[in-house]
Amino acid sequence: MKITALPFAYEFELAHTALVIIDMQRDFVEPGGFGETLGNDVSLLQAIVPACKAVLQAWRQAGGLVVHTREAHKADLSDCPPAKRARGNPALRIGDMGAMGRILIAGEPGNQIIPELAPLSGEIAIDKPGKGAFYATGLHERLRQAGITHLVFMGVTTEVCVQTSMREANDRGYDGLLLEDCTESYFPAFKTAAVEMVRAQGAIVGWTATSGELLPALAALPAQP
Ligand code: C5J
């Protein structure tokens, strides 16, 4: 399958491609979570939910592999470097009790993926202690076992966990595509810059496209039972 993308067409086979949805968890998208404690306007991120949902539904219908990630730490914070917890001047720090339970702790209400994009059984859902999806998660091994060579990325935030994950994937040999209207930042200028960085220099990190360019290609595939 070949879709229009930048800096040039992106080619992939669904059987060897995973849709990777980065950190669409309540902590970042809803008031009272990690994103808001850092002083951000979380409503900016809510705008991409309909486009993400449309791609997820189409990907599932076509029978593609789906990976969900959550930025999450263990309850005892043993996987949270003190430097990460100490950084900045947030209203609440990682592990503190907030409006949706303990901030950025696995299993807490705020750590759940938003209901619109909730994982189905059979999909991969990983907790990641870092910004990148490949650090300390075993994701690379699971993708290799599944024969995955290409990754289509959505999620938040563009210049932090999405870009870090794309760069980690790139260094591991995956061809990555970022869906521009399915990713967002608390800082619009950072999103613009990150999207341009991905596709610069002949796809130095990967490709970019819109959901409008991907969805017709998925719809043309035979639906899976
Ligand atoms: C951040 C993320 N921004 N998921 N995490 O701290 O991008």
Ligand 1 binding pocket includes 181 (Cβ within 6 Å) = no
CA 144, distance to chain mean position in Å, is 19
Which residue lies with its CA nearest to atom 2 of ligand 1?
161
Average pLDDT over residues 202-209: 98
Average pLDDT over residues 51-60: 98
Render pLDDT for 75-98 as a digit per residue (tens, 0 to 9): 999 999 999 999 988 889 999 999
Render pLDDT for 99-109 as a digit per residue (tens, 0 to 9): 999 999 999 99
Residue-level pLDDT at 139: 98
Average pLDDT over residues 18-47: 94
Average pLDDT over residues 153-172: 98
Token pair recorded at residue 71: 């930025």
> Strand 10-11 and strand 101-102: pairing?
unpaired
Residue-level pLDDT at 93: 94
pLDDT above 80 (res 225): no
Task: Indicate the average pLDDT of the chain.
Answer: 96
**Is residue 169 within 8 Å of residue 17, measured between CB atoms?**
no
pTM strictly above 0.95: yes
C-alpha to C-alpha distances, 37 to 27, 75, 82, 94, 96, nearest whole angstrom: 9, 19, 18, 10, 11
Query: Measured between alpha carbons, how far is 191 from 101 in angstroms, rounded to an integer?
Result: 29
Ligand 1 binding pocket includes 72 (Cβ within 6 Å) = no
pLDDT above 90 (res 165): yes
Active site residue 161: yes
Distance 140 CA to ligand 1 centre (A): 20
Distance 43 CA to ligand 1 centre (A): 15
Percent of the chain, pLDDT > 90?
A: 92
Ligand 1 binding pocket includes 160 (Cβ within 6 Å) = yes
Which SS3 state, helix, strand or coil, does residue 18 take? strand
Residue-level pLDDT at 88: 85
